[in-house]
Amino acid sequence: MSNNNEKVLIKGNYAIAQAAVNAGCQCYFGYPITPQTEIGEYLSGKMQELGRGYVCAESELAAINMVIGAVSTGVKAMTSSSSCAVALMQEALSYACGDELPVVLVNVMRAGPGLGYIYPAQGDYNQSVYGGGNGDYKIIVIAPSTVQECIDYTYKAFYLAHKYRNPVILLADGLLGQMMEPACFGEYPYPEIDNSSWALTGAKGREARAIYSLGPIESKQIERIERIFKKFELITKNETDWEEFQTEDAEIILTAFGSMTRNIKAAMKVLREKGIKAGCFRPITLNPFPHKRIEELASEGKDFVVVEMNMGQMFKDVKYSVNGKSNVELVNRPVGEWLRVEEIVSAVEKIMEKNYAASI
Amino acid sequence: MQQVFSIPKSIKKDSKYTFCPGCDHGIAIRLLCEVIDELGIQDKSICATSIGCSVFLYDFIDVDCIEAPHGRALAEATGVKRACPDKVVFTYQGDGDFASIGLAESMHAAFRGERVTALMLNNTTYGMTGGQHGPTTMMGQITTTSPTGRNRDYYGYPAKMAEQLALIDGCAYSARVALDSIPHINEAKNAIKKAFQVQLSGIGLGFVEILSTCPTNWKMTPEEAHVRVRTDMVKTFPLGVFKDLSEGGK
């Protein structure tokens, strides 16, 4: 597989897998689940060929804990899974935050709740951003919208995980995982992080190290949680990422994450052609979330329409950011066929009519 | 005068004994550390720890440790070993951690023949939470959740892990030992050593089930608890080496 500047036509899942290889991922542990199984299939052969670690784990519980074991030695490691199986990993994510370990988890979302189905959905916004584990913790969440971004943000996921010693979720969906697009791998663009001050390598010439979140001494536990949250303040300052298009003169801003971004960009063009001053705003990091920028745009009186394939999970974060300074509407479908461009356009037109009528 | 005993090098100098009086964890940890010293592996060992009373291993052992959620020790040990095949990797778990909540991880680490060592202390109860019935509770045994004793209809049968592990191809060594007497303690140390040696020679997983006391929850004196181990427990959990693929093993 290409590891250079040549453009290749490649499926999202394979792109993520090869990007992990390029990033220097030493171990992959996973359990099959549609629509992300190609990641494990690809890496099973690749990791063996390269003399790196691969285990088809007995469960997702085991898989993510194998990642914890591997990254505790300072190496890069990852697992990948999908929605209902990522639910099984929530305990370990809480541990990984408490233990400050650079776990990388790729979630190629499918529909829920429960078993749901294998078609793409965006119902894991809450599971990723707010988490299902116990205690106070935060995970960095990055949502790609193209196969190229699957590559770029897989690189970034490894870098940020090690830079901040914090778990990172790459939140893709079945659409991205299964689609083919031209993309370019380039080289892993980030510096290597020195893990020698904390990694477990055997107590040779130094004191033994123990990595744990166990906190029978209250003051130490408070100190640890405060340190982790302080760290996340720094992550918020340095790493909050988004993109926006034509927001400058926009009256209404379409907002989406992940592959729905593609459709709002298209819908914006159609709306502009119809004379509606529409813009686009797309959070790239869902955690940290670009609250500040949304608030600024809302302060200028711009309304928001959140378009997502769930019952309004990111919607409430946008509402929180806007904080009553403008209108926020939701255009959504819980699961099934991705909201089509014309559906988004007509929903926005209705919203404009309603808001316009309300203003007279 | 000749010195015949000293605290193992792999035990932290400032550690204070925190287990209940008469609990066998103290002996088990000492044996583990003696074996680590004798094999000269302290500086290349990494332990995946567990939940329950065995979690206090942190307080005593002077080797690198990574915390595992309840039952996930052998998954983490697998991750450590796959990332660093040159390290010596082991777990120290209770029967609840190894044989109940972590059964899948335990068995599959053995199925895969991971080159790691697993020690399971079997005291027939959940010690830290106050003595509930667990996977290894014996028939008739009274616990806080088997108030009239373990019976077949409500609770089924105890899990015999040393025998189970011996059936698995990837398991290179499986033994059950006890800590109730000096001869048994010496045998236990030999078994622990063997369980590390099969890892070091790359044959497969080494497993030792260590019968141990829980005087607090058994509501016995330390002496009564040890009598129970040798007269009662060994009937359900016979001692012995069930598999040994090492050179000269059976």
CATH code assigned at B34: 3.40.50.970
Burial A320-333 (b: 16+ CB within 10 A, else e): ebbeebbbbbbbbb
Residues of chain A numbered 209-268 and touching chain B (CB < 8 Å): 209-214
Interface with chain B: mutation pick from A44, A64, A72, highest number of B CBs within 10 Å: A72
Number of domains in chain A: 2
Q: CA-CA distance, B185 to B66, in Å (whole number)?
A: 27
**By residue range, what is the domain housing residue A125?**
7-191+212-239
pLDDT digits (tens, 9 = 90+) for A223-233: 999 999 999 99
Q: Is A183 helix (H, G, I), strand (E, B) or coil?
A: strand
Q: CA-CA distance, B90 to B80, in Å (whole number)?
A: 10
ipTM above 0.85, yes or no: yes
Find out whether A99 and A135 touch, Cβ atoms under 8 Å. no
State whether residue B39 sits within 8 Å of chain A by CB: no
Residues A105, A181 within the same domain? yes
Residues A166, A122 within the same domain? yes
State whether residue B45 sits within 8 Å of chain A by CB: yes
Could you tell me which residue, B233 or B15, shows the higher pLDDT?
B233
Does residue A188 come out as left (phi exceeding 0), alpha (psi in the -120 to 50 range) or beta? beta
The sign of the CA dihedral A82, A88, A91, A95 is negative
Instruction: Please indicate, yes or no, if residue A162 is contained in any of the structural domains.
Output: yes
pLDDT digits (tens, 9 = 90+) for B134-158: 999 999 999 999 999 999 999 999 9
Find out whether B216 and B210 touch, Cβ atoms under 8 Å. no
Instruction: Please indicate, yes or no, if residue A204 is contained in any of the structural domains.
Output: no
Residues A228, A253 within the same domain? no
Residues A274, A222 within the same domain? no
Residues of B with CB below 8 A from A212's CB? 49, 58, 65-67
Paired with B46 in beta bridges are B64, B89
State whether residue B7 sits within 8 Å of chain A by CB: no
Angle ∠(A18,A23,A28) on CA atoms, nearest 5: 65
In this prediction, residues B45-58 reach a mean pLDDT of 95
The one-letter amino acid code at A272 reads R
Structure tokens at A109: 């979302």
Q: Is A251 helix (H, G, I), strand (E, B) or coil?
A: coil
Find out whether B103 and B97 touch, Cβ atoms under 8 Å. no
Q: What share of chain B is helix, strand, coil (3-state, %, to 5)?
A: 40, 20, 40
Instruction: Please indicate, yes or no, if residue B199 is contained in any of the structural domains.
Output: yes
Residue from the list B43, B80, B112 with its beta carbon closest to the beta carbon of A70: B80
| Sequence-distant (≥ 6) Cβ neighbours of residue B189 within 8 angstroms | B31, B34, B35
State whether residue A59 sits within 8 Å of chain B by CB: yes
Q: Which range is least confidently modeled, B2-6, B23-27, B173-177?
A: B2-6
Residues A296, A235 within the same domain? no
Instruction: Please indicate, yes or no, if residue B249 is contained in any of the structural domains.
Output: no
Instruction: Please indicate, yes or no, if residue B20 is contained in any of the structural domains.
Output: no
Residue from the list B48, B61, B67 with its beta carbon closest to the beta carbon of A214: B67
Instruction: Please indicate, yes or no, if residue B2 is contained in any of the structural domains.
Output: no
Residue A175's CB: how many other CB atoms inside 10 A?
22
Residues A122, A163 within the same domain? yes
Q: CA-CA distance, B79 to B69, in Å (whole number)?
A: 14
Residues of chain B numbered 74-113 and touching chain A (CB < 8 Å): 75-84, 87-88, 104-105, 108, 112
CB contact under 8 A, A62 and B49: no
Q: CA-CA distance, A143 to B106, in Å (whole number)?
A: 35
Residues A170, A297 within the same domain? no
Structure tokens at A68: 């914890």
Residues A162, A270 within the same domain? no
State whether residue A137 sits within 8 Å of chain B by CB: no
Q: Smallest CA–CA separation between B52 and chain A, in Å?
A: 12
Looking at residue A359, its pLDDT comes to 62
CATH number for the domain including A115? 3.40.50.970
Residues of A with CB below 8 A from B64's CB? 200-203, 208-210
Interface with chain A: mutation pick from B36, B67, B106, highest number of A CBs within 10 Å: B67
CB contact under 8 A, A55 and B76: no
Residue B163's CB: how many other CB atoms inside 10 A?
16
Residues A177, A221 within the same domain? yes
The one-letter amino acid code at B21 reads P
Q: CA-CA distance, B151 to B132, in Å (whole number)?
A: 14
Residue from the list B44, B62, B78 with its beta carbon closest to the beta carbon of A69: B78
Identify the residue whose tokens are 């927001």: A247
Instruction: Please indicate, yes or no, if residue B14 is contained in any of the structural domains.
Output: no
Looking at residue B250, its pLDDT comes to 62
Continuous segment of H or E residues that includes residue B241: strand B240-244
- Closest Cα to residue A72, out of B57, B79, B45, B58? B79
Instruction: Please indicate, yes or no, if residue B11 is contained in any of the structural domains.
Output: no
pLDDT digits (tens, 9 = 90+) for B19-38: 999 999 999 999 999 999 99
Residues A185, A266 within the same domain? no
Residues A325, A220 within the same domain? no
CB contact under 8 A, B79 and A72: yes
Q: Is the confidence at residue B108, as pLDDT, over 70? A: yes
Instruction: Please indicate, yes or no, if residue A226 is contained in any of the structural domains.
Output: yes
| Sequence-distant (≥ 6) Cβ neighbours of residue A356 within 8 angstroms | none
Instruction: Please indicate, yes or no, if residue B82 is contained in any of the structural domains.
Output: yes
Paired with B47 in beta bridges are B65, B90
Nearest CA in chain B to A58: B108
Q: Is B227 helix (H, G, I), strand (E, B) or coil?
A: helix
Residues of chain B numbered 146-185 and touching chain A (CB < 8 Å): none
Number of domains in chain B: 1
In sequence order, which ranges of B12-159 are alpha helices (DSSP H)? 25-39, 57-60, 73-83, 95-96, 103-111, 152-155
Q: CA-CA distance, A244 to A191, in Å (whole number)?
A: 28
Residues of A with CB below 8 A from B42's CB? 202-203
Find out whether A337 and A285 touch, Cβ atoms under 8 Å. no
Paired with A285 in beta bridges are A142
Residue from the list B49, B68, B83 with its beta carbon closest to the beta carbon of A26: B83
Question: In sequence order, what E strands does A203-276 have?
Answer: 210-211, 242-245, 252-255
By the 10 Å C-beta count (0-12 exposed, 13-18 middle, 19+ buried), B32 is classed as buried
Find out whether B208 and B120 touch, Cβ atoms under 8 Å. yes
**By residue range, what is the domain housing residue B235?**
25-244
Q: CA-CA distance, B69 to A211, in Å (whole number)?
A: 12
Q: For A89, which DSSP code?
A: G
In this prediction, residues B66-86 reach a mean pLDDT of 98
By the 10 Å C-beta count (0-12 exposed, 13-18 middle, 19+ buried), A101 is classed as buried
Looking at residue A216, its pLDDT comes to 77
Q: For B63, which DSSP code?
A: S
Instruction: Please indicate, yes or no, if residue A263 is contained in any of the structural domains.
Output: yes
Structure tokens at B208: 């030792």
360 residues of chain A, pLDDT tens digit each: 545 789 999 999 999 999 999 999 999 999 999 999 999 999 999 999 999 999 999 999 999 999 999 999 999 999 999 999 999 999 999 999 999 999 999 999 999 999 999 988 999 999 999 999 999 999 999 999 999 999 999 999 999 999 999 999 999 999 999 999 999 999 999 999 999 999 999 999 999 999 999 887 888 889 999 999 999 999 999 999 999 999 999 999 999 999 999 999 999 999 999 999 999 999 999 999 999 999 999 999 999 999 999 999 999 999 999 999 999 999 999 998 999 999 999 999 999 988 777 665
Instruction: Please indicate, yes or no, if residue A73 is contained in any of the structural domains.
Output: yes
φ/ψ (deg, to 5) at B107: -65, -40
Instruction: Please indicate, yes or no, if residue A205 is contained in any of the structural domains.
Output: no
Instruction: Please indicate, yes or no, if residue A2 is contained in any of the structural domains.
Output: no
Find out whether B126 and B152 touch, Cβ atoms under 8 Å. no
Does residue A110 come out as left (phi exceeding 0), alpha (psi in the -120 to 50 range) or beta? beta
State whether residue A27 sits within 8 Å of chain B by CB: yes
Report how many helices (DSSP H) and strands (DSSP E) chain B contains, helices first: 11, 7
Instruction: Please indicate, yes or no, if residue B115 is contained in any of the structural domains.
Output: yes
CB contact under 8 A, A200 and B55: no
Q: Is the confidence at residue B214, as pLDDT, over 90? A: yes
Please state, in angstroms and as integers, the Cα–Cα distance from residue A208 to each residue in A98, A197, B210, following that order. 19, 12, 26
State whether residue B209 sits within 8 Å of chain A by CB: no
Residues A16, A119 within the same domain? yes
